[in-house]
Each structure stands twice: as C-alpha cells, then as structure tokens.
Amino acid sequence: MADIFDELREKLDKRYALSGDLEDTRVRLNQVSLDLEAVLDDLDGRLGEDDTPSQVLVVGLRHVFDSRNVHLDPNGNWVGARPHVESGGRISMVEPNTFTFRTNGGRAEFQGIHTAKMDSTVLYKWTMRYERERVFQRTGTWRIVGQFHKGSGHPPLSVQIDENPRRIKLIQYLGAKFDQVWTGDFGENADRDIELSLLARWSLGPTGRLDLRMNGTSIFESSGPNTYGGASQAYPKFGAYDGGSGDTEVTFRNIRVWEADGFDERLHDAV
C-alpha cells in the first residue's frame, strides 16, 4: 500500500494528508466534493493479496501565510508581516525568505502573520537557527525565540533558550505556572538549521490538541486545554524576545502557515 499512497499523495500535489475510507468514492477536498472513482478503480486493480483498502480521506489545507512574500518596500516598511521591535532591536532580511532578528534588551519579532480562532486547527512550519557565539552576546537570563500568544498575559506556548545552564526548551503556560514540557541540548542544536512543525487545535477545553515536531521527531504532544484566561484567539510571533540586558541574534526562514479542516498528524508530512 505504501507506494499507492505515495502516488496518490503526489497526484494531489502534496497539499493534503491522507486518511479515511477507500470504499468512499467521494471526499471533501478544500471544501469541494470530488469524484475519485477513477482513482479508486486504479488502486483496486493494483492491490496485492496482503493489502487492505481501509482508510483514505483527504483533509483540506489552505495555505494562508508564506514568508517568501515578506519584504521591505522602497520606503523601508515591512510588507506581509508586522514588526514588533523594542530598545534598539532590528530585523534584517539577509536574503529572500531569510530574516535575522537582533535584540538589545527587548524585542525583535514578526507578528501579524495569522490569527486563529478557538477550536480551529492550524499547521505552522518554520526553520530557526541560532549561532553558539551570537545568541548570548551579553549577560542575560533567557531568550524567547518563537511564541504562540493569546493577546494578553504570558504566551501559552514558547520556545526559549536559557543562559545558565545553557539549554533550549519548550514552555507551556496555562494560567497557573510555567511548565517545562521539553528540554534540548544547547550545543547539539546550535549552529545548524532546526526544522519545526506545530499542528495545533487551539482550545480552552477538552478538544485542544498540540503536536510539535523538531527535525521530523515529535518532541511534545498534548490533549485538552492549551490556552487560558478566556482566550478567543491564538497567533504566532517569530523572532527574539530578550529577558534582560542581553543582546541576542537568531535567524528564521521559510515560515509557513496553513488552516486545516481537521487534526491529523500526517499533515506534518503533507507539505
């Protein structure tokens, strides 16, 4: 079955994840009902004796943000994302689709990328890189290098780098305390691209789900509430936020966001 799924995925231009029932001849694809009888007949003709035509359902994805479209206009204003810069920080476009965020005891972040409603499902993908000699250029306490916010209070989910001891970690805050839900080695992750993919159904209740993957490996999963305080939205901020007098530099590229019709872990590999 594996080669059949691969071929069907390729036919769908890698924009959709597969699940559901092969015996169903109609699927919902980007809110359009398509007749897949011809495809299913072709699959049936090539199934081996040990193959079971069980589940094939197509979950629609809508590509809603791509950092390839972010740039500076002739007047030096950012187009496609809204900068949040404090205390002499700066954001630079190193090359198309690659951005360096430099703090000076404050913030240098992109926001205004996407806002999700509660109980909606969103897939976020981005590449981050921090250099061993540049992430701690002055004394500080911590650096947030990517966060998912609700608009006020602390972000429900954030990627953070600590100075003492040096480590990279994932912090979840649901209104009562900061939970360190994953910790990674600072040195092993420095000076290289880190590929991150977060599939999230943001919710104040039991329907919430999170699945965060780093370089293809799941590092955090949760079911249930994943925000707090009557939140009505969730939105990402990519860049650096310096918790002290530090001077930090981090690079992001290839930031993409999709809205999904449902939560399926295979969406990570669909795009």
183: which 2 tokens? 């910790």
**Would you list the domain boundaries of the chain?**
2-59, 63-269
pTM for this one? 0.80
Q: Is the dihedral of CA 85, 87, 93, 97 positive or negative?
A: negative
Q: What is the CATH number of domain 63-269?
A: 2.60.120.200
pLDDT in tens, 217-260: 999 999 999 999 999 999 999 999 987 666 789 999 999 999 99
User: What residue type is assigned to position 7 of the chain?
Assistant: E
Query: Is residue 157 exposed (0-12), middle (13-18) or buried (19+ Cβ within 10 Å)?
Result: buried
3-state secondary structure of 39: helix
The closest alpha carbon to 30, from 259, 244, 268, belongs to 259
- How much is the pLDDT for 32? 35
Cβ contacts of 54 within 8 Å, gap of 6 or more: 21, 22
* H or E stretch at 5: helix 2-11
